[in-house]
């Protein structure tokens, strides 16, 4: 894979381009360009929120179906471990964030001015289901269809998995650098990009350190 084709490279390029465009557009008062970018950002954000429940249904349900007849016990164990890990990680993150607030923010809490740029228009795309509802429904339908791959429901969700996989590969991933870049256009146009990037850098240092520590603990527990 060439470097320019790697997603992380395209994301970083999108961030750099977004910062440059935001600063230039703000300096030269290119309000129409900023509003157009903000409009595209809002529309893509609505599209993402619409897709999340469908992605859950399209991947979680077929995953449970593929497990087969032992899906019930395996799902119970998996969910128990996942819930315990999530709670432990959440409490650890809260404790670290509370203890390191001054380090992360640099001693000042800086908020971007979200009211600076207004989209030209917005279109609300309501998701078909709330996220947690989609997750519970995926569990129920997956358990019902486990070991019954020839049922209508099972074939339906296998088809949905293929559709969602194609949407992610052909739409979401190619558009993601532009979406991330548009977010940084708004941030840099607000004139607060330097303190925000500084806070982001310190925040990611904390996140990566916690991630390594947490993964090491999980592997140690699994090894024991």
Structure tokens of 109?
């809490």
Query: Phi and psi (nearest 5°) for 201?
Result: -60, -50
Please give the pLDDT value at position 115.
46
Instruction: Measure the CA–CA gap between 23 and 192, rounded to whole angstroms.
Output: 10
Please give the pLDDT value at position 224.
87
**C-alpha 121 chain-centroid distance:** 24
- Which parts of the chain have pLDDT scores under 50? 3, 113-115
Asked if residues 12 and 176 have their Cβ atoms less than 8 Å apart, the reply is: no
For the stretch 168-202, pLDDT in tens is 999 999 999 999 999 888 888 877 777 777 788 88
Instruction: Measure the CA–CA gap between 224 and 222, rounded to whole angstroms.
Output: 6
* Whole-Å CA distances, 70 to 66, 116, 140, 205: 10, 54, 14, 41
């Amino acid at each position: 894979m060439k470097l320019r084709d790697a997603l992380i490279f395209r994301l970083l390029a999108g961030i750099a381009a977004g910062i440059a465009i935001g600063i230039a557009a703000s300096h030269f008062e290119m309000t129409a360009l900023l509003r157009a970018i903000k409009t595209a950002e809002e529309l893509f954000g609505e599209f993402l929120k619409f897709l999340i429940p469908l992605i859950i249904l399209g991947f979680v349900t077929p995953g449970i179906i593929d497990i087969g007849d032992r899906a019930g016990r395996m799902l119970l164990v998996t969910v128990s471990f996942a819930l315990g890990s999530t709670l432990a990680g959440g409490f650890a993150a809260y404790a670290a964030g509370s203890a390191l607030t001054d380090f992360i923010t640099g001693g000042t809490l800086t908020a971007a001015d979200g009211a600076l740029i207004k989209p030209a228009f917005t279109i609300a795309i309501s998701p078909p289901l709330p996220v947690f509802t989609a997750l519970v429904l995926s569990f129920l339908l997956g358990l019902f269809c486990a070991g019954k791959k020839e049922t209508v429901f099972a074939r339906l969700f296998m088809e949905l998995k293929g559709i969602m996989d194609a949407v992610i590969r052909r739409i979401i991933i190619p558009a993601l650098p532009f979406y991330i870049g548009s977010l940084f256009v708004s941030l840099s146009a607000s004139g607060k990009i330097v303190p925000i990037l500084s806070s982001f850098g310190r925040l990611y240092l904390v996140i990566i350190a916690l991630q390594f520590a947490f993964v090491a603990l999980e592997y140690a527990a699994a090894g024991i």
